Amino acid sequence: MNRRSFLGASAAGLATSSAADVRKESNQYFELRFFQLRNSKTDQQQRLVSLFEEHHLPMTKRNGFGPIGYFQVYLGAEMPKLVVVTAYRSWAEVAEKRDAASADEAWRKAVGAAGSEDYPHFDRAETWLLKAFDAAPRLEEPAVEPGKGPRFFDLRTYEAESFGDVGRKIDMFNQEEIKIFRRSGINPVFFGQSIYGSRQPNLTYMVWYDDMRAREEAWKTFLDDPDWKRIRNQPGWTNAEAVSNISNTFLQPLPFSPIR
């Protein structure tokens, strides 16, 4: 991807979804945009943050995007990095909103000014598109609580050896695991199967906690849950059968992020 273009979107096809899935508009789609940065004397990260706050977020409000969240990687691979998460009501809305962004005059002007600067605002960008699970068909935006600090977010990707394996892991989440998450204090933001992006086949989900201590307590509760102990060894659902790799990225919302 041209590092000076914020407007392009490349859809590599729908290899992981049947035509029936694409027509099923009740489940949202989630776009994840990863912006790889560097620590630099030109203050690259702050310039990109300012572009998001002063120009991108206002553009999304003008054009009815959202929910949307802006995050910095607190702990994960290839830091520094920013992540933008956007929810769309349907497959059709993905294209509609991308066209709206491209046609927004103020945003086009801001992008043009940023692209003409001597120093880039980011080094590389990557876009993933996910389709929501049936058991969590909508992005669940945490309620803003006055007086409380920003929450702690966990972005997790489960890779598999085959698309069939991903499907079985999604069945496990839909039938049992998401319910166990909720009662354990692992609070969903979204769960999605990869439609396009890297490291396929995979699924990705985001959850939140009040802080790191709450995360530790929630996962202990989850691992001790009798239903989790029952299903984790069910044929077809074991990690050995359904999950080949798990990656974890801890995120903090930027101060202006609507999802926080």
Give yes or no on whether 25-132 and 152-253 have one common fold: yes
Residue 231 structure tokens: 């299903």
Q: Is the pTM here over 0.85, yes or no?
A: yes
CA 60/CA 47 separation, integer angstroms: 19
- Domain 25-132 listed as CATH 3.20.20.80: no
CA 250/CA 212 separation, integer angstroms: 10
CA 21/CA 86 separation, integer angstroms: 20
CB 191 within 8 A of CB 133: yes
Task: Sort 60 into a burial class: Cβ within 10 Å, 0-12 / 13-18 / 19+.
Answer: buried
CA 254/CA 252 separation, integer angstroms: 6
- Encode pLDDT of 142-163 as tens digits: 988 777 777 899 999 999 999 9
- Encode pLDDT of 169-180 as tens digits: 999 999 999 999
Domain boundaries, the chain: 25-132, 152-253
CATH class of this structure's domain 152-253? alpha beta
Is the pLDDT reported for residue 24 higher than 70? Answer: no
Task: Sort 145 into a burial class: Cβ within 10 Å, 0-12 / 13-18 / 19+.
Answer: exposed
Q: How far apart are the first and last CA of the chain?
A: 28
